[in-house]
Amino acid sequence: GVDAPGAEIDARLERLVAPRWSLERLAAVDRAVLRIGSYELAEAPDRSPALVINEAVLLARRFGTDDSPRFVNGVLSAVASEVRPGTEEG
């Protein structure tokens, strides 16, 4: 499911990661986890944002760097604020 809206997901992530940082510069694991989490937040409204973010953080903790979980949490929290305004992230 991530491939179909891939350009939209990447555009949102590019904007939220940082103005001077490109998506290509991110670690591949972080980039993949952010794409999956962004897709779930935008396209699976039946799933709790807190659950989606927690699962992404767990993946980042297991397969990313020491800084990955905090980074993924922050970016996906910003994504959730955009695609699901007014919902609590837990």
User: Which tens digit of pLDDT belongs to each residue from 15-36?
Assistant: 888 777 788 889 999 999 999 9
CB 17 within 8 A of CB 26: yes
- Going from the C-alpha of 87 to that of each of 9, 36, 66, 82, 90, the distances in angstroms are 20, 19, 28, 10, 9
Does pLDDT of 43 surpass 80?
A: yes
CB 76 within 8 A of CB 41: yes
- Among 1-5, 42-46, 59-63, 86-90, top mean pLDDT goes to 59-63
Does pLDDT of 10 surpass 60?
A: yes
Mean pLDDT of the chain, nearest integer: 89
**Range in 11-15, 26-30, 73-77, 85-89 with the lowest mean pLDDT:** 85-89
pLDDT of residue 78: 94
CB 32 within 8 A of CB 13: no
Percent helix, percent strand, percent coil in the chain, to nearest 5: 70, 0, 30
Place of tokens 């980074």: 71
Does pLDDT of 90 surpass 50?
A: no
Place of tokens 């997901």: 9
